[in-house]
Amino acid sequence: MSYETIVGLEIHVELSTLGKMFCRCKNPTLADKPNTTTCPTCLGLPGALPYTNQQAIDSCVKIALALGCKINKDSFFERKNYFYPDLAKGFQTSQFLHPFGEHGKLEIEVNGTKKTIGITRVHMEEDTGKLTHSRLDGKDVSLIDFNRSGVPLVEIVTEPDIRSGEEAKEFLTRLQRIIRYLNVSDADMEKGHMRLEPNISLRKPGETKLPKYKVEVKNINSFKFVDKAIKYEQKRHEQLLEEGETPTQETRGWNEFKNKTVSQRSKEEAHDYRYFPEPDIPPIEFTDSQIEILQTQIPELPDERRKRLAKDYGIKNLDAEILTREKAQADYFEDMVEIGKRHGIKATKIASYLINKKVDVKDTPPASVIKQIVEEENIETIDDSKLEQAISEVFEQNIQAVKDYKSGKNQVIGFLIGMVKRALPEAKDNDQIRKKLTEMLE
């Protein structure tokens, strides 16, 4: 029997704010030595209290707005109570009842089919410390680094609208682009800025209700692994269902070396987090004008921009898609188009140049690339008869090469071009020489 796969995603995004979520410590980088960017608040010392970082709240609201969420004007933080050695206070300051954003959506396209994925919620919370299990002086030890403790974290939860690993990957790719466009996080997977948790279950075709179970795969750090984990789980569930069993509701982890998921925690150990409103932080209220101001700070997002570039500049849809993957690249393209106008260079030419030559947009000024294009366009062609004469001479001197070409060794053309250029130094346009050479070799 073929089954339908039901996937919902939970994504944690570490924000790139200057400071931490509830204290004045700097938001650390991986280069900081362990436990050097800490204070009483993020260490959870007695008497320490949280003080909210407005930049982080604004960033979270921007993500929510970019995903089309409704912003809760009356929101508050809540305590999520659980014990873990990396959780300094014994609770995580998070949001439960009233996340900053709810009911959003994001459109994806897989194999030419468009689809809308619902966004359940976008909320603000703080990261935990980091546990490392290692050996020290011959003993097994667990080390805690609290640098990450209190780093602002945005959690994005989707509706169970995703049906395949490909869809999940596409959704994540688009989400990552949006977050980068907003400039609220580097969203660098390798640095753990984005952590992914798919919830997977299978149902019989035609069923409309959600399956009675779901399996959560925790803390995956690449889109490829999300795809693989979903595919692995699909097979595993299918096998169990075929045998008449229901897969166990549990949390599993992705093992990238074994290419499989492994069971971590079953439902029996599920937590009761005892959420309640965080009494140390007053409720967070937004006015319409505050939301409007944040809305104006949101740049044109990748999807709209792709459409506009294709329409306004007449470039290919695929080119527009490639150019808008990163905001810097798209900005660069539009800067070049502006300069190119003065030199009569078309947007389509610029688009293909940028894509094919893989221009380093960080370190090359757009004007210098335009200059390069202009130079290449202006390469003088020379008189055909002069060229023909030179080519004839080259043929006479390189009979073997001509023979080789005729027997199918096309690569000798490069050698012949070189010989022509040596015989006729004013011939500079490779394309012209190549064209003439092939003509005369036929």
Question: For other proteins, which residue of 3, 55, 68, 81 counts as binding (CB under 8 A)?
Answer: 81
Q: Does 46 bind other proteins (CB under 8 A)?
A: yes
Residue whose CB is less far from other proteins, 47 or 206? 47
Q: Which two tokens stand for residue 118?
A: 């619902």
Question: For other proteins, which residue of 83, 288, 342, 442 counts as binding (CB under 8 A)?
Answer: 83
Residue whose CB is less far from other proteins, 144 or 367? 144
Q: Write the DSSP symbol of residue 2.
A: -
Q: Does 98 bind other proteins (CB under 8 A)?
A: no
Closest CA to 118 of 230, 4, 8, 12: 8
Is 373 within 8 Å of 353 (Cβ atoms)?
A: yes
Q: Does 344 bind other proteins (CB under 8 A)?
A: no
Q: Does 47 bind other proteins (CB under 8 A)?
A: yes
Which region among 75-83, 176-184, 321-329, 350-358 touches other proteins (by CB under 8 A)? 75-83
Question: For other proteins, which residue of 18, 30, 49, 210 counts as binding (CB under 8 A)?
Answer: 49
Is 223 within 8 Å of 171 (Cβ atoms)?
A: no
Residue whose CB is less far from other proteins, 50 or 198? 50
User: In angstroms, what is the minimal distance from the CB of 279 to other proteins?
Assistant: 4
Which region among 43-51, 243-251, 319-327, 378-386 touches other proteins (by CB under 8 A)? 43-51
Question: For other proteins, which residue of 4, 10, 44, 413 counts as binding (CB under 8 A)?
Answer: 44
Strand intervals (E) in 95-214 = 101-110, 113-126, 130-136, 139-145, 152-158, 194-203
Q: Does 40 bind other proteins (CB under 8 A)?
A: yes
User: In angstroms, what is the minimal distance from the CB of 3 to other proteins?
Assistant: 32
Interface with other proteins in residues 112-151 (CB under 8 A): 144
Tokens 């925790």 found at = 218
Spatial separation of the C-alpha atoms in residues 125 and 441, rounded to whole Å:
70
Which region among 38-46, 213-221, 304-312, 394-402 touches other proteins (by CB under 8 A)? 38-46
Spatial separation of the C-alpha atoms in residues 294 and 57, rounded to whole Å:
11
Provide, for the chain, the percentages of residues in helix, strand and coil under a 3-state DSSP scheme, each rounded to the nearest 5: 40, 25, 35
User: In angstroms, what is the minimal distance from the CB of 125 to other proteins?
Assistant: 16
Spatial separation of the C-alpha atoms in residues 302 and 325, rounded to whole Å:
7
User: In angstroms, what is the minimal distance from the CB of 81 to other proteins?
Assistant: 5
Is 345 within 8 Å of 373 (Cβ atoms)?
A: yes
SS3 143: strand
Residue whose CB is less far from other proteins, 271 or 406? 271
Q: Which two tokens stand for residue 85?
A: 């050695």
Q: Write the DSSP symbol of residue 365.
A: -
Residue whose CB is less far from other proteins, 132 or 397? 132
Residue whose CB is less far from other proteins, 83 or 257? 83
Which region among 5-13, 84-92, 373-381, 382-390 touches other proteins (by CB under 8 A)? 84-92
Q: Does 241 bind other proteins (CB under 8 A)?
A: no
Closest CA to 435 of 382, 365, 399: 382
Residue whose CB is less far from other proteins, 90 or 314? 90
Residue whose CB is less far from other proteins, 283 or 414? 283
Q: Pattern 252-291, binding to other proteins, x per CB under 8 A?
A: --------------------x-xxx--xxxx---------
Q: Does 45 bind other proteins (CB under 8 A)?
A: yes
Closest CA to 216 of 238, 194, 227, 201: 201
Is 179 within 8 Å of 10 (Cβ atoms)?
A: no
Distances (CA, A) of 48 to 53, 95, 307: 16, 20, 50
Q: Does 85 bind other proteins (CB under 8 A)?
A: yes
Spatial separation of the C-alpha atoms in residues 303 and 292, rounded to whole Å:
21
Q: Does 88 bind other proteins (CB under 8 A)?
A: yes
Closest CA to 189 of 201, 206, 172: 172
Left if phi > 0, otherwise alpha if psi is -120 to 50, otherwise beta: which for 138? Answer: left
User: In angstroms, what is the minimal distance from the CB of 323 to other proteins?
Assistant: 44
- Binding residues for other proteins, rule: CB under 8 A, are 40, 43-52, 79, 81, 83, 85, 88-91, 144, 272, 274-276, 279-282
